[in-house]
Structure 1
Amino acid sequence: MRLWPRSLQGQLLLAVAVALLLGQTINGVLLYRAQTERREAALIHTVAFRLYGALRDEDEAVPRRFRRPPAEAMLQGLPGTRESAAPPILPTDQRLSEHEDDLRALMANQGIALEAVQILRRDIGIDPVAQRRLERRLRRGGEGRLPETVIVAAVRREAAGPWAVARVLVPPPPARPLLGLVIQTLVIYALLVGAIALILQRLTRPLKALTRRVDHFAATRDASDPMQPVGPADVQQLITAHNALEARIAALLDEKNVMLGAIGHDLKTPLAALRVRIETVEDDTQRARMAATIDDIARSLDDILSLARVGRPGDPLEVTDLTALTAQVVEEFEDMGEAASFAGAERITLSLRPTWLRRALRNLVSNALRHGGGTARVNLSRQSASVAIAVEDDGPGIPTGEIERMLEPFTRGDPSRNRGTGGAGLGLTLARAIAEQHGGNLTLANRSAPDGSVAGLTASLTLPLT
Structure 2
Amino acid sequence: MKIWQSMTLKVRTIVILGVVFILSQLITLIIFEHNRDNVVLSTEATDLADRIIGIVDLAYSFPQQDRRKILAAAETQFLALFPDVISTDEVACQQNDFSTHISDKLNLAFAKLPGIDAQVCVRRFENTPLLDRRTTLRQGFDVLILINFANEQQITFHSELPESQSLLQDSVIFYILLEGTIALLLAWYLIQKTVAPIEKLADAANHLGLDINNPPLDESGAKEIAMAAKAFNTMQARLANLLHSQSEMLSAISHDLRSAVTRLQLRADLLENEHERSGMLKVVTDMRQMIQSVLDFLRGQNPDEPMRNVNINALVESLCSDMADEGLPVSFQHDDNSINLTCRPTEIRRCLQNIIDNAIKYAGNAQLSIYRDKSVAKILIKDTGAGIPENQLHYVLRPFNRLEQSRNDDTGGIGLGLSIAENIVKSHGGILTLANHPEGGLLVEIQLPLNG
Q: TM-score over 0.5 for the alignment? A: yes
Does residue 231 in structure 1 map to residue 221 in structure 2? Answer: yes
Distance 1:85 1:98, change over 3 A: closer
Amino acid at match of 1:388: K
Residue equivalent to 1:258: 248
260-269 or 39-48: bigger deviation: 39-48
Amino acid at match of 2:425: A
Structure 2 unaligned blocks of 5 or more: 62-75, 147-154
Alignment of 1:104-253 (within 5 A): 106=104, 110=108, 120-123=123-126, 126=129, 129-130=132-133, 133-134=134-135, 146-148=137-139, 150-151=141-142, 168-171=159-162, 173-174=164-165, 179=171, 183=175, 186=178, 190=182, 200=191, 203-204=194-195, 207=198, 218-222=209-213, 226-227=216-217, 229-253=219-243
Q: Is the CA contact 2:331–2:368 (under 8 Å) kept in the aligned structure 1?
A: yes
Does residue 418 in structure 1 map to residue 407 in structure 2? Answer: yes
SS at 2:299 equivalent? helix
SS at 1:448 equivalent? coil
Amino acid at match of 1:123: E
Q: Deviations over 1:150-205 (max 9, x none)?
A: 446799xxxxxxxx998653515549765467547756865x66775675566456
How far off its partner does 1:256 sit?
Answer: 0.9
Amino acid at match of 2:21: L
Distance 1:278 1:349, change over 3 A: farther
How far off its partner does 1:348 sit?
Answer: 4.7
How far off its partner does 1:402 sit?
Answer: 7.0
How far off its partner does 1:257 sit?
Answer: 0.5
Q: Deviations over 1:123-169 (max 9, x none)?
A: 26626543xx33xxxxxxxxxx73345446799xxxxxxxx998653
Amino acid at match of 1:298: I
Residue equivalent to 2:30: 29
RMSD: 5.4
Residue equivalent to 2:290: 297
Does residue 460 in structure 1 map to residue 445 in structure 2? Answer: yes
TM-score (norm 2): 0.66
How far off its partner does 1:258 sit?
Answer: 0.9
Amino acid at match of 1:246: Q
How far off its partner does 1:232 sit?
Answer: 4.0
- Correspondence for 2:317 among 311, 324, 333: 324
How far off its partner does 1:319 sit?
Answer: 6.5
Distance 1:188 1:128, change over 3 A: closer
For residues 178 and 307 of structure 2, what CA distance do their matches in structure 1 show?
58
Residue equivalent to 1:313: 305
For residues 300 and 276 of structure 1, what CA distance do their matches in structure 2 show?
22
TM-score (norm 1): 0.64
Q: Is the CA contact 1:330–1:342 (under 8 Å) kept in the aligned structure 2?
A: no
Q: Deviations over 1:278-300 (max 9, x none)?
A: 66473699668746753663354
How far off its partner does 1:23 sit?
Answer: 2.0
SS at 1:123 equivalent? helix
Amino acid at match of 2:30: V
Amino acid at match of 2:443: T
SS at 2:350 equivalent? helix
For residues 262 and 12 of structure 1, what CA distance do their matches in structure 2 show?
54
Does residue 368 in structure 1 map to residue 371 in structure 2? Answer: no
For residues 397 and 96 of structure 1, what CA distance do their matches in structure 2 show?
93
Alignment of 1:266-285 (within 5 A): 266-275=256-265, 280=271, 282=275
Amino acid at match of 1:241: A
SS at 1:298 equivalent? helix
How far off its partner does 1:255 sit?
Answer: 0.6
Residue equivalent to 1:435: 425
For residues 75 and 35 of structure 1, what CA distance do their matches in structure 2 show?
25
Amino acid at match of 2:246: K
Q: Is the CA contact 1:319–1:349 (under 8 Å) kept in the aligned structure 2?
A: yes
Distance 1:98 1:275, change over 3 A: farther
- Correspondence for 2:379 among 364, 389, 406: 389
Residue equivalent to 2:65: none
For residues 328 and 232 of structure 1, what CA distance do their matches in structure 2 show?
55
Q: Is the CA contact 1:379–1:389 (under 8 Å) kept in the aligned structure 2?
A: yes
Amino acid at match of 2:318: L
For residues 354 and 422 of structure 1, what CA distance do their matches in structure 2 show?
27
97-106 or 265-274: bigger deviation: 97-106
Q: Is the CA contact 1:230–1:236 (under 8 Å) kept in the aligned structure 2?
A: yes
Amino acid at match of 1:362: Q
For residues 443 and 184 of structure 1, what CA distance do their matches in structure 2 show?
57
Q: Deviations over 1:40-60 (max 9, x none)?
A: 44566688889999xxxx999
SS at 1:230 equivalent? coil
- Correspondence for 2:434 among 444, 447, 450: 444
Amino acid at match of 1:360: C
Q: Deviations over 1:273-328 (max 9, x none)?
A: 44555664736996687467536633542342332333x22697666732532323
For residues 210 and 124 of structure 2, what CA distance do their matches in structure 1 show?
77
Q: Is the CA contact 2:80–2:157 (under 8 Å) kept in the aligned structure 1?
A: yes
Q: Deviations over 1:236-272 (max 9, x none)?
A: 4333333322321211111110111222223333344
Distance 1:200 1:323, change over 3 A: closer
Q: Is the CA contact 2:435–2:442 (under 8 Å) kept in the aligned structure 1?
A: yes
Q: Is the CA contact 2:142–2:159 (under 8 Å) kept in the aligned structure 1?
A: yes
Residue equivalent to 1:140: none
For residues 404 and 38 of structure 2, what CA distance do their matches in structure 1 show?
86
For residues 352 and 301 of structure 1, what CA distance do their matches in structure 2 show?
22
Amino acid at match of 2:347: W
Residue equivalent to 2:72: none
For residues 355 and 284 of structure 1, what CA distance do their matches in structure 2 show?
36
